């Protein structure tokens, strides 16, 4: 165990650090009276976090270090009026039971540690809290089904980076604190109250409301293609297959929101089915242990845990696993069938495109032949040269 630093040496070290400004930029501290030999009474200041209602505000405190410091934490009392959960609103004293660094005081802690902790307790504005709450709720809802390797790795990496930023801000790094508050302020504003949104929705309601999850009115089924009567140039679709084995035809970019919604629904359902299948396989061993336990109770104590015609644990798990595997195979077979049908559509679209191209070439050749045989029948004016000059048209 290392030697303990005496009280006066410890306070002299903190005084030198505070006077030279070697600590955190967001707080400062120093002696109230330079002639105080015991160095008991100190002044402290905290700079309010930027980009909020506390920006450019300076909060002052009185700090008292007792005779047993640093074995016993010092006492803090705000001179400036502040609204914090750990501060008594009547006298400004900091409640040591409501501040983590004072409640779990260690000899290595300093006055700067407490000041930084108090600064981190400065609350956000109600608007910032609401923005942060809505954003967090949306992100959890969006990423709750993420299970891929790359997606999970990226999420963990971003989480560790966010943790390092939060720790740096809690340690008094003013730049990181400003960065966090700036990001919170850049979040979308909270929505309007429900009553106002309901009134606006009534005014802007469409004449033909669209049912969620259903195709838009007048939409043509994809598998009914190809269409022989087309206007303009025929666009041949591209067959795209996702990593989950789901195929679809892409006609243009960006793809329609309805197609994106259908793909998300299928991917989530497939992932849910796959997770259930793996879970049943993992719990099959536990079911075997349950059956073995039932056999032991029946042989040693004559206890019958279930009726004779009642299936065993492993039988139930096997049946559920078979049903799950059957649904998974049916889902895969259906996707393969649809992909095969889509490939046939692409082949037919290409054949029709070639046929239409040949028809246009044939019609162009016939028109040119007719115009060469009877130039006076050409009613279309020439672009350049003499009237009736066929070379200027083609």
Fold classified for 7-120: Ubiquitin Conjugating Enzyme (3.10.110)
Q: What is the mean pLDDT of residues 213-238?
A: 72
Residue 153 has pLDDT above 60, yes or no: yes
pLDDT of residue 109: 86
**For all residues of the chain together, what is the average pLDDT?**
77
State which of 17-21, 31-35, 62-66, 230-234 shows the largest mean pLDDT: 62-66
Compute the distance between CA of residue 94 and CA of residue 347 in angstroms, rounded to an integer: 77
pLDDT of residue 122: 67
3-state helix, strand, coil in the chain (%, to 5): 50, 10, 40
pLDDT of residue 34: 79
Q: Model-level pTM greater than 0.95?
A: no
Residue 44 has pLDDT above 50, yes or no: yes
Residue 323 has pLDDT above 50, yes or no: yes
Q: Between 256 and 360, whose confidence is greater?
A: 360
pLDDT of residue 140: 79
- Other C-beta atoms closer than 10 Å to the C-beta of 24 total 18
Could you tell me where the DSSP H helices lie in the chain? 7-19, 100-103, 111-120, 126-143, 149-170, 174-185, 194-203, 257-282, 284-301, 313-373
Compute the distance between CA of residue 267 and CA of residue 246 in angstroms, rounded to an integer: 8
Residue 391 has pLDDT above 60, yes or no: no
Residue 328 has pLDDT above 80, yes or no: yes
pLDDT of residue 390: 44
pLDDT of residue 35: 81
- pLDDT tens digits, 241-293: 887 788 888 877 777 777 888 888 888 888 888 888 888 888 888 888 888 88
Residue 392's pLDDT band (cuts 50, 70, 90): very low
Compute the distance between CA of residue 394 and CA of residue 386 in angstroms, rounded to an integer: 14
Residue 301's pLDDT band (cuts 50, 70, 90): confident
pLDDT of residue 290: 87
Q: Which of 163, 223, 181 minimizes the C-alpha distance to 348?
A: 223
Q: Between 161 and 185, whose confidence is greater?
A: 161
Q: Which of 266, 261, 219 minimizes the C-alpha distance to 243?
A: 266
Percent of the chain clearing pLDDT 90 (strictly above): 2
């Amino acid at each position: 165990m290392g030697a303990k630093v005496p009280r006066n040496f410890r306070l002299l070290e903190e005084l030198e650090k505070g006077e030279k400004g070697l600590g955190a930029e967001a707080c400062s501290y120093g002696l109230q009276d330079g002639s105080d030999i015991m160095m008991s009474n100190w002044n402290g200041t905290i700079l309010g976090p930027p980009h909020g209602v506390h920006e450019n505000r300076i909060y002052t405190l009185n700090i008292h270090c007792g005779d047993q410091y640093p074995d016993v934490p010092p006492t803090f009392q705000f001179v400036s009026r502040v609204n914090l959960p750990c501060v008594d609103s009547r006298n400004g004293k900091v409640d040591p039971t409501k501040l983590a660094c004072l409640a779990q005081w260690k000899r290595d802690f300093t006055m700067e540690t407490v000041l930084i902790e108090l600064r981190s307790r400065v609350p956000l504005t109600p608007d910032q809290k609401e923005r942060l709450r809505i954003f967090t709720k949306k992100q959890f809802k969006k990423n709750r089904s993420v299970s891929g390797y790359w997606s999970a790795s990226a999420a963990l990496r971003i989480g560790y980076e966010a943790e390092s930023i939060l720790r740096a801000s809690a340690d008094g790094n003013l730049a990181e604190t400003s960065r966090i508050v700036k990001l919170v302020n850049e979040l979308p504003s909270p929505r309007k109250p429900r009553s106002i949104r309901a009134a606006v929705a009534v005014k802007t309601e469409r004449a033909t409301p669209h049912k969620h999850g259903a195709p838009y009115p007048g939409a043509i089924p994809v598998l009914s293609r190809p269409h022989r009567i087309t206007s303009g140039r025929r666009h041949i679709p591209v067959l795209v297959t996702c990593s989950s084995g789901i195929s679809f035809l892409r006609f243009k970019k960006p793809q329609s929101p309805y197609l994106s919604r259908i793909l998300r629904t299928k991917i989530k359902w497939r992932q849910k089915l796959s997770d259930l299948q793996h879970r049943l396989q993992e719990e099959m061993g536990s079911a075997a242990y349950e059956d073995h336990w039932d056999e032991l109770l029946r042989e040693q104590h004559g206890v019958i845990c279930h009726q004779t015609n009642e299936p065993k644990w492993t039988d139930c798990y096997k049946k559920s696993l078979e049903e799950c595997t059957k649904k998974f195979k049916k889902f895969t077979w259906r996707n393969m069938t649809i992909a095969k049908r889509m490939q046939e559509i692409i082949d037919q679209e290409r054949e029709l495109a070639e046929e239409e191209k040949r028809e246009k070439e044939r019609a162009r050749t016939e028109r040119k032949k007719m115009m060469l045989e009877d130039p006076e029948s050409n009613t279309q004016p020439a672009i350049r040269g003499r009237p009736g000059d066929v070379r200027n048209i083609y």
